[in-house]
Structure 1
Amino acid sequence: MSTPVEARRPGLRSLITLVGCEAKMVVRDTAGLVVPLCLPLMIMLTSAASASRTVVANGRTALEVYVLPLVFTMVVAIIGIINMPSFLAYYRRSGILRRLGVTPASPAMILAAQAIVSVLQALVGMTVALLVALLAFGADPPADLGRAVGVVALAMAAMYGAGLIVAAVAPTPNSAVAIGLVAFFVLGALGGMFGGRDSLPEPLAEIGGWLPFGAAVEALSSAWAGSTVAAANLIGLGATVVVAAVVAGVLFRWE
C-alpha cells in the first residue's frame, strides 16, 4: 500500500516565480506600463521650471511642496486604482483564480504577487520623477524623509485597498478600467489634482481632504516641508485602508 503524499503549499520560491510572471504581464501591457510612469512626469515637467523658483514654506519651493507630492500620489493612484484591478478582473474572468483554487497554490498568491509588482512599479515611477526634479530642477529631498516614506506606504495601502473594491465589483477587465478611471478622476478632482482644493467649494474641499488622494497629497506635502502631518490626513488614509479591506473582503469573488 503506497504512502499518501501530503500536498504542500508553495513557498517563497513559487511566490518569486509568480512575481516574475506578473512583472512580464505588466511590461507587455504598454499602456499600463507607460501611463503611470510618464503621465505624472509630463505633468511635473510642465510646471517644474516656474515651481522650482517659487519659495512657499520653510524655504521649500512649490515644486517640492505641491508638485512632487501630487506627482507621487498620481503614480500610486493610477497603478492602484486603475491598473491592478484590471489584471485581477482579467484573471477572474478567464478562470485563472478558480483554477488556482483547486491546486496547492492559493489564489491569494496572485493578489500578493500583483501587489508586489504594483509597489515596485510605483517605486520606479516615483524614483524617476524625484531624480528628474533633483537633477534637472535642483529640488531637495523631503525634510522629514522617514515621515514621507511612511506617508507613501500608507497612501499605497489606501489606493490599493480602493483598487481591490474596483476589482471586486468589476465583472470584466474593461469595466475595471472604466470604473477605475472614474474613481481616479473623482478622487483626484476632490483632492486637488486640477488646481488645488482651495479652488473647490468649501464642503467639497473638506471632503477631499479626508479622501485618500487629497489626504496623501497634503500629508506628503507637510512631510516634504518639514511640517507636522495633520491627523485628519492620517486618519483619512487609515480609514480608507480599513474600510476598503472590509468592503473588498465582502464583495470579492474568485470566480
Structure 2
Amino acid sequence: MTDVTVHRPGPRAFAELLICELKSVARDTAGLIVPIGLPMLILVMNASAAGREPVAHGRTALDVFVLPLVFTMVVATTGIVNMPSFLAYYRRSGILRRLGVTPVSPVMVLVAQAVVGALQIAVGIAAAWILAVLAFGANPPVRAGAAIGVLALTVAAMYAVGLIVAALSPTPNSSVAIGLTVFFLLGATGGMFGGRDSLPEAIATVGQWLPFGAGTEALSAAWMGAPVEAAPLIGLAAAAVCGTVVAALFFRWD
C-alpha cells in the first residue's frame, strides 16, 4: 500500500491567491467607492455642523462624534456588504466547491478575503482621516491605543455579521441586498441618522449593544479620553463570537 502525502499550499501560494483577490476587488468599482466614498460624504456633510468648541480634552464634536461614526461606517460597509458578496459569488460560480477537492482549502479564500477587507478598511479610514485633518482640523484620539483596540474589535464583529450574510445568501445579488439591509438596520439603531438620543429609549438601548452602536460609542469614549464602558465591548465581543458560530453552522461551500 502506497502512502500518498498531500502537501498543503505554502506562503507563496497564499500570496498568489491574495493578489488574485486584490485584483478582483480592484475591478469592483462599486465595492471600492461605497466603503470609501460614502463615509467621506457623511464626514463632509457633518463636519461643518459639528462645531469647533471643545467637548473634552481639547477634542471637538467632529473628533468625538463624527469621526467614530465615519470609521465605523467604513468597517461596516466593507464587512457586511462587500465581503459577503464576493463569497456568495464564489459559491454560486462553484469556485469554493472546486477548491474543496484540491490541496487549496476554501478556508484560504476566507482568510484572503479578510486580509483584503482589512486593507480596504485601512485605506478608507486613512482617506477619511486625511480629509478630516486637512480640511477640518481634526485631532487624534486621546487614548490612541484604546481606539485601535476598539477598532480591531469592531472589525471582528462586523466581519462575523458579514459571514452570517454570506452563509444565508443564495446569490451575489441577494447578498448585496441582505447586506445593505443589515447595514442600514444596524446603522439606524446605532445613531447613523442623527444619534441614538433621538431614538426611542428601547431602540437606543438595543443599539448600544449591537455592533454599529457599540463600535461608535466605544470609539467616541477613546477619542475623548474617557473610560470605555464594558457594555459596548461586551456587545462587540458577543457579536464576533456568536456571528462566527452561526456562520459556521449555516455556511455552505456549494
Q: State the TM-score bracket (shorter-chain normalisation).
A: over 0.9
Name the structure 1 match of 2:21: 22
Give the corresponding residue for 1:63: 62
Moved more, 12-21 or 73-82: 12-21
Q: Which AA in structure 2 matches 1:225?
A: M
Distance 1:131 1:52 in 2: 19
Aligned residues between the structures: 254
> Alpha-carbon deviations, 1:83-136, whole Å to 9, x = none?
100000000000000000000000000000000000100010001111111122
Counterpart residue number, 1:32: 31
Corresponding residue number in structure 1 for 2:12: 13
Q: Which moves more between the two structures, 169-178 or 57-66?
A: 57-66
Unaligned segments of structure 1, at least 5 residues: none
Q: 1:48: how far off?
A: 1.4
Alignment-derived partner of residue 54 in structure 1 = 53
Is there any run of 5+ residues in structure 2 with no aligned partner, and where?
none
The C-alpha deviation readout for 1:132-181, integer Å capped at 9, x for no partner, is 11122111111111100000000000000000000000000000000001
- Closer, same or farther in 2 for the Cα pair 1:27/1:52, shift >3 Å? farther
Aligned to 1:109: 108
Superposed displacement of residue 5, structure 1: 5.7
What residue number does 1:143 align with? 142
Aligned 8 A contact 1:53 1:61 in 2: yes
- Per the alignment, residue 174 of structure 2 pairs with 175
Amino acid of the residue matched to residue 47 of structure 1? Answer: N
Q: Which residue of 1 aligns with 2:242?
A: 243
TM-score (norm 2): 0.97
Counterpart in the other structure of 1:186: 185
Distance 2:106 2:67 in 1: 36
Distance in 1 (alpha carbons) for counterparts of 2:189 and 2:177: 18
Partner of 1:133: 132
Paired residue secondary structure (1:56): strand
- What are the Cα deviations for residues 173-221 of structure 1, in whole angstroms up to 9, with x where unaligned? 0000000011000000000000000000001000000000000000000
The answer to whether the 8 A contact 2:143-2:222 is kept is yes
Structure 1 residue matching 2:40: 3-state secondary structure: helix
Asked if the contact 2:50/2:62 (under 8 Å) is kept, the reply is yes
SS at match of 1:182: helix
Identical counterparts, % of pairs = 64
Displacement of 1:4: 6.2
For 2:51 and 2:27, the matched residues in 1 are separated by: 35
Q: Whole-Å Cα distance in 2 between the matches of residues 239 and 82 of structure 1?
A: 20
Match of 1:224 in 2: 223
Matches of residues 197-208 of structure 1 in structure 2 within 5 Å? 197-208=196-207
Aligned to 2:161: 162
Partner in structure 2 of residue 73 of structure 1: 72
**What TM-score do you get using the length of structure 1 for normalisation?**
0.97
Displacement of 1:13 in angstroms is 1.3
Instruction: Report the alpha carbon displacement of residue 14 of structure 1 after superposing the two structures with TM.
Output: 1.1
The aligned counterpart of 2:120 is 121
Secondary structure of the corresponding residue to residue 41 of structure 2: helix
